[in-house]
């Protein structure tokens, strides 16, 4: 397991706060309030370890298959339905949405290889990520990957806790399946918009792993 570069600053700040708080309580209150000092130490240590785990990149065998759409994120499948895409396609698409809790790995990966033909950031609200309107009203970053005649839209969506979406892609860039496309901090959602009729290989409420689980077959 390694730590994602997006976490270096946050972990450094968290570590500094951890040491400052515990030094102050140990120096001034450990004799008079030993239970409180001990409780503070274990609570803040737990929070620091959780922060570190949030930015983890676990060692995995990633799925490389030109006929597969792999999961762009860890989490739980919360939507499988046909929708009208108002942003890019302007027609029906098959939407698969993955909800990412704060405990999930938050690296986002390319579901297929291909060329980036669309890349757009949208300001918006911070509704809870499982809210039906979060796909169109929340802060989000959309990219479209084109492979031959197939185009897939991947939408990184901020949730109630997520305040920063990072996207590394640019229009015209050639990307590889399972390579990093971005990162979302602290709970969020990723939508896939697939051609209608695409064979879906997952079920509602199924837990998936980014870069590993095959969401659909092209």
Whose CA is closest to 189, among 152, 211, 160? 160
Q: Are 169 and 175 in contact (CB under 8 A)?
A: yes
Tokens of 186: 């602290």
SS3 string of 95-119? EEEEEECCCCCCEEECCCCEEEEEE
Q: Strand order in 165-167's β-sheet?
A: 107-109, 180-184, 165-167
Has 188 been annotated as catalytic? yes
Rounded CA-CA distance 111/61 in Å is: 15
Torsion of the alpha carbons at 191, 185, 161 and 165, rounded to the nearest 10: -60
Q: Strand order in 68-70's β-sheet?
A: 68-70, 214-217, 199-200
The residues annotated with a catalytic role in the active site are 188
């Amino acid at each position: 397991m390694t730590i994602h570069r997006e976490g270096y600053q946050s972990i450094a700040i968290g570590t500094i706060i951890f040491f400052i708080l515990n030094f102050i309580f140990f120096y001034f209150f450990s004799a008079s309030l030993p239970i409180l000092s001990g409780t503070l130490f274990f609570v803040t240590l737990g929070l620091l370890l959780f922060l570190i785990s949030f930015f983890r990149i676990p060692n995995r065998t990633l799925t490389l298959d030109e006929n597969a759409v792999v999961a762009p994120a860890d989490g739980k499948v919360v939507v499988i339905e046909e929708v009208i895409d108002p942003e890019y396609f302007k027609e029906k698409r098959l939407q698969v949405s993955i909800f990412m809790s704060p405990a999930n790995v938050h690296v986002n990966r390319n579901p297929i290889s291909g060329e980036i033909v669309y890349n757009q950031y949208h300001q918006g609200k911070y509704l809870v990520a499982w809210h039906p309107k979060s796909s169109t009203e929340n802060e989000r970053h959309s990219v479209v990957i084109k492979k031959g005649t197939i185009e897939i839209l991947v939408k990184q969506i901020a949730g109630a806790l997520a305040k920063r979406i990072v996207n590394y892609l640019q229009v015209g860039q050639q990307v590889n399946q399972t390579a990093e496309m971005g990162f979302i901090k602290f709970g969020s959602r990723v939508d896939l918009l697939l051609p209608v009729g695409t064979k879906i290989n997952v079920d509602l409420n199924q837990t998936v792993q980014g870069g590993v689980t095959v969401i659909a077959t092209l």
